[in-house]
Structure 1
Amino acid sequence: MLKCGGEWSTVADMVHHNQRQEPNPSIRSNGIKNYFKKMPLVDEDQELVLVLSGLWTMAMSQPNDKELPSLGIFECMASLINKGINNKSWLQKNQNIYIPYYAAHIIGSYTMNNVEFAMKALDCGVLVPLLELLKGQMTWVEQRVAIRAIGHLAIYEKTFKGVAIYEEEIVKLAMKLASTCLEVVYKEFVGVKDLNVRLKYHCDLLTRGVRGV
């Protein structure tokens, strides 16, 4: 297993391990917090996409668990999205291309039904990176998961004002996405005549977990 700074290489494994064997909760919490801080700084980790996939699974299965949101997961996800947008060479390494997608889904899963987490996510600066995805910095897949996450942030009275600052921009981008998505999907997938190219595109969508978009 790869390691980062002498710590477990995946937060999911670390949480599972420490729940069973670490008697001191503060040691476990500090380990997770430190890993979240270091994760966006690591350029060479072939298992990073597996980490994000595992975290998304945890976010979906335990969306009201306060532990990871309290230890820096929102700051970490925002940083990873920014890194994917601004560091194209890193994005093309290993399977890093999928990381912004998973990061946006993790944000959305934790904020879907929890106003406390939505408030914390906004305070941690997730909105601007999500807006960049919505603008089309990557693909229509990330655009759709970004608007989902932004929608979750906007549904609560306590967070609406924070999202409404970008109201005009969000509405325009959402309308454009809704009006062009079918054309984009046809052009990039359905209408592609080269079977190999079409199958690869389909494989990429499935790998990104398109059923959750």
Structure 2
Amino acid sequence: MIQGGSAPLRALLIPLAVLAVLAGCGTLGRAADPTPSPPVTTGPPPGASQAPGPPLATATAPATGEVDRTNPAAVAADCFTRWQSFDARTDSGPSAGVGRARDCLTEDFAASLGAGSTSAADGGADGQAWEDLRAHGARSQVSVLATTPLGGVDTTATGRVVLQLNVRRESTTGNEAPVATLSTPALTLLRQADGTWRVAGADLASVAGDAPGR
């Protein structure tokens, strides 16, 4: 789960990681300190060595369209894409992604991510980091290639399920060519009283071991 720290800092976790990767590749002309991965609170079954779904290097994201809110896998893919994709050139601030995904997050989880705070003028290091991303024209598009119950155990009947996602992120700075990264985060979803599902927690670490194509 994402725990501790300020809400804007949590919302900036992925954009800052993207900036560090691109800076390390020399696209920003300066080195960046490594950003530690969030603590892993969930993981694959013992001995797991491959991410779910097709190989990440060759898989194609499912076609977009109207989302079935009663399908937790569909909700997870749509919600994660809206939350984690960003364009610093046009987004209002580090929490803009949370605002886009607000309708698919539980009240508690949205509050923990700083829902409602979408301005870049949050102050301190968070606001400055966002301004750095904006100055370099940073943007990042997430594609969810596949979802599967974590550990292969489908618990949707209980009203709570943890889904592991195959995710490809294409990040761009200025006019540079996109840089693709691969990850396998996990989302916890809860069924609501009306039968729809919402994301109630996230582990953004890559938890699937040596996923193909990584």
Query: TM-score scaled to structure 1, two decimals?
Result: 0.21
Higher RCO structure, 1 or 2 (CA under 8 Å, sep 6+): 2
Q: Which has the larger radius of gyration?
A: 1
Instruction: Please state which structure has a larger fraction of its residues in helix.
Output: 1
